[in-house]
Amino acid sequence: PVKEVSVVIIKPDAVQSGKCDEILDEMKKRGIEILRQEERQLTDEEVKNVYIHLQDEPFFEELVAFMTSSPSIVLAITKGKTGENVIKEFRDLIGPTEVEEAKEQAPESLRAKFGQEKYMNAVHGSDSSDTAARELAFFFPDFVAPKVEGQAKLQRTL
Ligand code: DAT
Ligand code: MG
C-alpha cells in the first residue's frame, strides 16, 4: 500500500499577502510532511479541473479569474508513517469554506487565521481520495506516492 497523499494550494491571496511561510510553518507544526512544493501561476485548465464541481455556479468565471491572477504554491503532503488520514485531517485544519464562518467556528483554522474575507480563503485541500488522485495526476504527473514503511520492510523480508 501507498501512503495517503493530499494536494494543497496556497492560493493567490495568501501568496500576495506574504502569508506563505506562516502557513507552511503551521502545517509542519502539525506534523504534515511536504513531499512536493512548487510555485506556479495556475492555468485556466488546471483551475477548471480542480473546481469542476462548481462549473455551473454563477461565480465560476470569477473564481477561475482569481485563481489564475497571480502565483500559487502547489504542494503534495502526507503525514506520519501511513498517511494517517491526511486528506480529512488537512480539511479540518483549513476550516470552513467561508472565512467569516471559519473565524466563528474554527478560529484556529488556516482559513480563519490567513483568509481575507468571504471566499478569498487562502488555502485549498483535496476533499477526497478521488480528487486527491486527480489533482496529483495533473499537478505532479511524475509523482510516485511513497510506500508505507512497515509494508515495504515486510515485503523485503518475505
Ligand atoms: P472548499 O474550498 O472548502 O472545498 P468548495 O469546493 O465548495 O469549497 O469551493 C471551492 C472554492 O470556490 C472555495 O474555496 C471558494 C469558492 N467558492 C465557493 N463557494 C462560493 C460562493 N458561493 N461564492 C464565491 N466563491 C465561492
Ligand atoms: Mg472543494
Mean per-residue pLDDT for 11-18? 97
Tell me if 98 CB under 6 Å of ligand 1. Answer: no
This prediction has a pTM of 0.95
- Residue ranges and CATH numbers for the domains of the chain are 6-157 (3.30.70.141)
- Signed CA dihedral, 69, 72, 74, 78: sign only: negative
Q: What is the pLDDT of residues 17-61, one digit of tens each?
A: 999 999 999 999 999 999 999 999 999 999 999 999 999 999 999
CA separation for the pair 25, 14 (Å, rounded)? 14
pLDDT score of 151 more than 80? no
pLDDT at residue 158 tops 90: no
Q: What is the ipTM of this complex?
A: 0.98
Q: How far is CA 107 from the centre of its chain?
A: 19
- What's residue 66's pLDDT? 97
The response to whether residue 119 sits with its C-beta less than 6 Å from ligand 1 reads yes
126 CA distance to ligand 2 centroid (A)?
A: 7
Cα–Cα distances in angstroms (integers) from residue 28 to residues 3, 78, 89, in the given order:
17, 11, 13
Any atom of ligand 1 within 6 Å of the Cβ of 85: no
Instruction: Say which ligand is closest to the CA of 54.
Output: 1
Residue 157 in this model has a pLDDT that exceeds 70: no
Does 97 contact ligand 1 (Cβ within 6 A)?
yes
- What pLDDT was estimated at residue 156? 62
> For residues 147 and 38, is the Cβ–Cβ distance under 8 A?
no
**Which residue's CA is the nearest one to ligand 1's atom 25?**
119
